[in-house]
Structures are given as C-alpha cells and as structure tokens.
Structure 1
C-alpha cells in the first residue's frame, strides 16, 4: 500500500513538505481525521476529531482544559506523543512510525488571538506574505492579496500598517492572510477576544459569513459560548484533556452534561435518580418534572424559571426548597441571585427584576424559599 504525501523524510521522521490528495486505496474521506494525544508530566490530552470540509467545529472548555494544546497540535507547533493526524486522507503526523510534516509545510492557516500581523508591512503585504513564502511571484501574490482584502471590504486600507487599523480591521486582515495560502485547515484561536464589545458584534457576524463560504475544515478555539454558538456548526467540550460532550449548539444548550457546560449555556443543572416524574437529587430534595424517566438523570432549568419567596410558596410551583443567598450581581437588566440549598448545599441561580428584589428585601445571607414549576424543568437520561 502506498501513502499519499510521503516525501523527503529525514532521520528524525520530519518531512519538509506534503503532497498528494485523498488516499485512493483506503478511500479515506476528505476533511480532518485526528486523534490528538499529547502527554506531559502533569497533563494528558486525548481527543478525537472528525470534521468534514465546509464544517466549523468549536472547541470549548475551561482554562487548562487542553483547547490551546489541541490547536497547537493541529498546527504542528506541539508534537503528538500518540494518535495521529490526517487531512484529506494525507498523513501529517503519525508518532507510531515517526512521521511528521513540519508546521511550515502543512496546508494549515492560523489566526492567533492577537493576530500577529507584521507591524512593518502594509495590510496588502501582510496578506501576500504567505503566498510569497510558497514561491508565488510577487505580482501574483499581491493580486491575490488585493482580491482577498476587497472581499473583506478593506480595499481602502490595503496600504495601511497594522497600527493604523481598528481591531475589527486587523481581524479581517488576519483572516485574509490565513486564507491567502488556500489552507485545507483553518485554525482560529480566540479570534474575537481582542475586540471591544461593540466591534465584537459586527465582526462576529462578518466572520460567520466568511466561514460559511470557506470550503475546507475550520476549527475554532474559544471560551465564549456566544462566539461558539454563532460561528460553529458543531461544538466539542473539553475538560481535563478529554471530550465530555459533543453536538450541535442546540443539542449542547438543551442537554448539558457537566456543571461547566450548564454555566456556559446559563442553566441550573442537577444529577440524580429518576422514578417516573420524580428525580431525587439529594436527601430531602426531589424535583418533579414533566418527563417520565427511570434511572440516572439530569434535570436542568434556566435561572429565569426560579422564583424566590420569603415564606414557603402556596402556588402552582411543584418544586420548592429553602436556600440561602450567597451573592447578588447585575446581570443584564436583571439581578442574578446566587444561592446555596440550606439542606443539601447545592448551588442555585435565580434571575429577578430589580423591583422583585426590592419588594422581597433580599440581601446576602437571607434565607428564602426557591420555587420552580415542573413545566419549566427539563429532564433527560444521564
């Protein structure tokens, strides 16, 4: 069996380039097919990725989860210690047989968090830099750069140095530079983190438009759930170096499976054991749900579904328990109230209007009753 892409392998197993397309013998489908294993003294990353051309995958997770390590491994900046990496059927890295394509020869474009534009080059020359490094003649590289800048709406800024560009303009130049080499894999590392809130809204929508037109694979690393929900077709949540949940934004938002994901999508999440419409969360706390289940189950509901009362509520809320307020902060046009269950110690978040907080005379340390209607909960198998 022959492998596409093998060329000029040195003694250390690192090649200086990659050629070829999909492996015609194995029939490997186009796109990204990888198992990324990176082992360090106190950390191990082990995740599998399969992403089709035209698809945008977002890697989400708390700090230290392994997102950036995964992105650097895909780019070839961090060597794999196990697993392997194929792009469009071509092996880029296989530690088991000491095969590794050097980062500069991979068909990969990267947009870093701070964009890393060359400060001494104009926007046009920043974009033309990649093709020039590939041996493209100067005039043709500049024509390609001008075409990309026009697509980004930056023709009038082609001669500007990075210091003359706004954050949004610099982000678009960075995207154009990454696309100029016609990559088969586009990596985006927190691409909107450097923007202020006002610019972020416009640039996010524009970036989504460009990604929708990108025909190869795109992998986005972010900690911002809104960026992930808007930009990605599929989410992969990584915690402690492993994948804990994967699915479409709608699936993740509706059925979170860890506390981190629940906080990410703004839900209260509890795990317990279901018996019909009842889910026992902890001794003394059983929630009534509309779903009928048996066995391990999650129960989720938004903070807006929680009502607070000074006395035990005499209402249609089937679920009521005592909790103590541990903090309050402004959350949009409402007050986010943080609570801890008095009997079980479980955390709870409730969103109230400022009027409701004032009428109830709520303050940190106060003991209240929390209520949630069964119809506002969502239960699903754990």
Structure 2
C-alpha cells in the first residue's frame, strides 16, 4: 500500500522523527534521528559508515526494511504497515554532491523545473525561480547554462532548485565537496546564511569536520551503521567518545579507569589528569599539548613516557608527528614546528620521550 502526504498523525510535533533501518547482505543501518524545524543536522562518519544510505532513505531513494520515517507528523515510510510515499511525492529537496543540474537548461529553468513538474504554470514558475536566484545573488546568471557557472554559482543554483518546491526537509549530500579550496570558504559562509534562514528541517552529510562545525546546529556521528555520538559541535569537540571522533576534532583520546587524579590506560601506563574522577573515563588532549624530547625530560610534566616516531606530515604550518608508545603501545599525535623537528633531528623510527602536563588533559566519564 502506498501512503499519501495527507496522512498526518495528529498530535505529532513538527519536524523529522525517523528510525532508519536498512538491512543488506553485509551491512545494517540502524539510526534514530529527530530534527526540529529550523534546525540543521549534520551526519558525520568514516567511509562506509552508512551516512549516504541514511540520506537516501530520508529521500525515499532507498526503502526502509524496518523502523519508520515521519515528517511533520506525516508517515513517509512504515515497512511494518506497508506504507510508503514515493520519492517524487515527498516534500523533500535534495542537493547532490555533483549538483546534477540539467546541462541543457539555463539556471532559471533549472530552478523552475520542480514547480513546473508540480503543475505550476510556466510564467509563475519562472517568476518564482527568478526571485530565488535574486536571493542567491545570481540574477545576472539566470540565462546561463551550468557549464558556464563557477563551482560556487552552480552550488547556489542547486540550492535554489531544491528550495523552489517549498520542501519541508532539505537534504545536502557533501554540499561543498565539488568546490576547490579557494571557493570553499566563501561558499561555506554563504550556505550557512541560507540554511539559517530555512524554516524547515535540514540534514547534511559530510566527512569534513569544518563543514559540519560551521553549517550544523547539531551533529550525529555514525560508525558501522549506528550512532556513536551526538550533540552540538562544541560538545562533540570537547568530549569525543571514539577514536574516529577524536581524530575528526584533532585530539588524542584514550579510555581508562580513574582513581582520583590518575587514569590507568594500560597495565604499565597511567596518565595524571587535572580532574578528580572515579571509574571508567576518557582522557583527551590536543597534539599541541605534547612535547617531544630526545632524553627523559626534567620538566614539571607528570606524564612522560618512551615513544617511537612512526610517521610525520605537514599539518598547516606545523608538522604532525605520529608516535607509538613503548609502554602499552599507546598511539599518539604531536604537533611541532619545523624548527623543533629539525633541532631534535626527528625522523621515522627515532626513539623519543613524550610528555604532557596534567593541566592540559581533559578527563570525563566514559
């Protein structure tokens, strides 16, 4: 049986309420999402985590095998009741990674395409499209074909086309991935402004932590088809709960057991922390907090252990040094200046001492 968008559930709060279950032979997605109108949610995760599957399920391009999907109280996909609204009948706008603008149509006609498909008269559809392009600052490009647009301009046309049908949910698949680094900064800020003005639900998929932190009000991190962490960008950055999230926000992260100001990470290694806790905890600190020495340090740092350099690469204006600790094999990242690397004579395989001050660590319950 096919549902209709008129079948609203009375008393249900507006916005997205979804339990997305998609089962395949070697993969299972099981993710719960709630997004309020006016909120921008970012789905983050490594390749193969299930982000794109979740986005396709929200768009109706991948049917659910379990769970349910409601938007503004309207059931869009309920496998248990054999109800499903076809993708083209859902009040959903999608911006694909490569934008997928129609190459034979002008920017104006690309934007007017959706309303025309909904039966809006041509003159009215083109007038509304012109107004949307004006909001995007593209009035002068209304008659231009996609191949003549820059990456940033094409992205704005794709956004206007997605908004033209008045969607109640906007889905963005890696919306800035097709842009070069030079255009990304300006377009990211512009996209944030447009999303802030969008009054319905917005969900974006990205692997770029900066895009997520700038564009989204809330983050949901997916690994292996399930949610491993969610919260505001600040909450996620301050308290990562998996190695992937820690790498994403640029932190060293360890799990151990706290007794007072000491956290046992392994059988032969403990870290002194500023916080006094008890029980299972995470300990995090930035690579910039790590100091490297060729001999055992005589500083006030209470945390010092032997390590071996396993790799080095440029990281902004510094060198990111990857290490493995001798005690318990503790992996570690340290940020050093090029001068410090040269003065210490560091290279892959070099044995060193690593140290971190307790005051630069952050411990919190696991």
Instruction: Give the TM bin, normalised by the shorter chain.
Output: over 0.9
Structure 2 CA distance, aligned partners of 1:20 and 1:208? Answer: 33
Which digits, 9 at most, give the CA deviation of each residue in 1:72-126, with x for residues without a partner?
0000000000000100001111100100000000000000000000000000000
**Mean Cα displacement is larger for which, 121-130 or 345-354?**
345-354
Question: Is 1:19 the counterpart of 2:3 in the alignment?
Answer: no
Structure 2 CA distance, aligned partners of 1:328 and 1:240? Answer: 29
What is the aligned counterpart of 1:51 among 18, 30, 35?
A: 35
Superposed displacement of residue 283, structure 1: 1.6
What is the aligned counterpart of 2:192 among 194, 208, 211?
A: 208
Q: For residues 334-349 of structure 1, what are the structure 2 equivalents within 5 Å?
A: 334-349=318-333
**Corresponding residue for residue 367 of structure 1:** 351
Superposed displacement of residue 234, structure 1: 0.2
Superposed displacement of residue 19, structure 1: 2.2
Structure 2 CA distance, aligned partners of 1:369 and 1:346? Answer: 13
Structure 2 CA distance, aligned partners of 1:192 and 1:286? Answer: 42
Superposed displacement of residue 20, structure 1: 5.7
Q: TM-score, normalised by structure 1?
A: 0.95
SS at match of 2:241: coil
**Corresponding residue for residue 308 of structure 2:** 324
Equivalent residue pairs, number: 366
Structure 1's unaligned 5+ residue stretches are: 1-12
Structure 2 CA distance, aligned partners of 1:136 and 1:171? Answer: 24
Structure 1 CA distance, aligned partners of 2:81 and 2:338? Answer: 63
Structure 2 CA distance, aligned partners of 1:205 and 1:117? Answer: 22
SS at match of 1:14: coil
Q: For residues 269-284 of structure 1, what are the structure 2 equivalents within 5 Å?
A: 269-284=253-268
Displaced runs of 4 or more, over 3 A? none
SS at match of 1:336: strand
**Corresponding residue for residue 164 of structure 1:** 148
**Corresponding residue for residue 153 of structure 1:** 137
Which digits, 9 at most, give the CA deviation of each residue in 1:324-354, with x for residues without a partner?
0011111111011000011211210000001
Structure 2 CA distance, aligned partners of 1:82 and 1:291? Answer: 43
Which digits, 9 at most, give the CA deviation of each residue in 1:29-64, with x for residues without a partner?
000001000000110000101000000000000000
Structure 2 CA distance, aligned partners of 1:142 and 1:67? Answer: 34
Superposed displacement of residue 268, structure 1: 0.2
What is the aligned counterpart of 2:232 among 235, 240, 248?
A: 248
SS at match of 2:196: helix
Structure 2's unaligned 5+ residue stretches are: none
CA RMSD of aligned residues (A): 0.7
**Corresponding residue for residue 197 of structure 1:** 181
Which digits, 9 at most, give the CA deviation of each residue in 1:187-237, with x for residues without a partner?
000000000001000000000000000000000000000000000000000
**Corresponding residue for residue 73 of structure 1:** 57
What is the aligned counterpart of 1:96 among 70, 80, 91?
A: 80
